[in-house]
Amino acid sequence: MPKYIDIHCHTNFKIFENDRDEVIRRALDNDTWLINIGTQYDTSKKAVEMTREYPDGVFATIGLHPIHTDKSYHDESEIGEGGQEFSSRGEIFDKEKYKELAKQGKVVGIGECGLDYYHIGSTSSPQRELEFIEKQKTAFIAQIELANELDLPLMLHVRNGSLRRAQCKLSSPQATEKNAYFDVYELLKKYSKRINEKGLPAQTGVSHFFAGSVEDMKRFIEIGVYISFAGPITYKPKPEICDYIGVIKETSLDMILADTDSPYVAPVPHRGERNEPVNVSDIVAKIAEIKGISEAEASKSILSNAQKLFNI
């Protein structure tokens, strides 16, 4: 077994096309396993293909990211293979097509899926905002159903908008109004078979790059959603945006995971560089520091949490 596992990265993206093998080798040679995350059909397909190229230590999830349910978002680094031109395509989630894909490699989860209220800010009108949120919810529910059918955990992407971010620490009922974490919690409770049939604690999924409040974290844990922390926990604390230290201190060690979200948000001391899975050790070290435990204890626990959730 490795020492670390980066439970959420995108070495399947085009930005790694020139040195992908080196990046993967660097992780594997440094005792680090990784899970490549699909964000739409072609990046999901690439992630699955990579599990066949690297049979030991490389896994995949397949799914449709909430921002890709609409045409409003672009990111040039994010293209699957095949040179398809990227302009966010507004994909409609085709459950059967993804189900077929799940048979083609080591698929350990469904997603990334969920709700993103951050990029909604760039849409033109309140009406468009509502439509976008509805599309996201429809795609999310379909992915919860696919996870139910395949009995797999969910890889959750949850992001709040700028209005809500300023209220990150609030936990009054009013504060949940525009809270993507709360809305994801409600949808999971309604649709996830793991929560409803298997009894608690369920292995429902994981909220990657967690940036919610202590209350959001507690609600997730109550329904079997693990909490994964990413590079920003190593940045200078900005509790007015998110109180990572407070959240990490309050989160039980047996529900914590770590992810790089490569190529984004590299942890210190790599901040500003293209991120890669081997850097997950910096995130684990920070979690250990905040929790006041040894790095060995933190990495051991995080690895066993990941093995349990993803059944690897």
Binding positions for Zn ion, rule: CB under 5 A: 261
Give the nearer residue to Zn ion in terms of CB position, either 48 or 288.
48
Query: 145: number of CA atoms within 13 Å, CB side?
Result: 11
As measured in angstroms, the least distance from the Cβ of 65 to Zn ion is 7
As measured in angstroms, the least distance from the Cβ of 8 to Zn ion is 6
As measured in angstroms, the least distance from the Cβ of 262 to Zn ion is 9
Q: Give which of 288, 251, 295, 286 is closest to 265, Cα–Cα.
A: 286
Identify how many contiguous H helices and E strands the chain contains and give both numbers: 11, 8
> C-alpha distances in angstroms, 24 versus 10, 45, 135, 273, 297?
11, 17, 34, 17, 25
As measured in angstroms, the least distance from the Cβ of 116 to Zn ion is 11
What is the spatial order of strands in the sheet that 256-258 belongs to?
A: 4-9, 32-37, 58-62, 107-116, 154-159, 205-207, 225-229, 256-258
At 68, is the secondary structure helix, strand, or coil? helix
Give the nearer residue to Zn ion in terms of CB position, either 156 or 255.
156
Give the nearer residue to Zn ion in terms of CB position, either 68 or 286.
68
As measured in angstroms, the least distance from the Cβ of 124 to Zn ion is 26
Q: Computed from CA positions of residues 227, 233, 242, 33, in that sequence, does the dihedral angle turn out positive or negative?
A: negative
Give the nearer residue to Zn ion in terms of CB position, either 6 or 243.
6
As measured in angstroms, the least distance from the Cβ of 113 to Zn ion is 11
How much is the CA Rg of the chain, to the nearest whole Å? Answer: 18
Give the nearer residue to Zn ion in terms of CB position, either 61 or 176.
61
Phi, psi of 276, rounded to the nearest 5 degrees: -150, 160
Give the nearer residue to Zn ion in terms of CB position, either 8 or 288.
8
At 2, is the secondary structure helix, strand, or coil? coil
As measured in angstroms, the least distance from the Cβ of 162 to Zn ion is 20
Query: 229: number of CA atoms within 13 Å, CB side?
Result: 31
Give the nearer residue to Zn ion in terms of CB position, either 75 or 289.
75
Q: Is 229 left (phi over 0), alpha (psi -120 to 50) or beta?
A: beta
As measured in angstroms, the least distance from the Cβ of 209 to Zn ion is 7
Give the nearer residue to Zn ion in terms of CB position, either 38 or 224.
38
Q: How wide is the angle at C-alpha 152 spanned by C-alphas 134 and 67, nearest 5°? A: 30
Q: Are 204 and 255 in contact (CB under 8 A)?
A: no
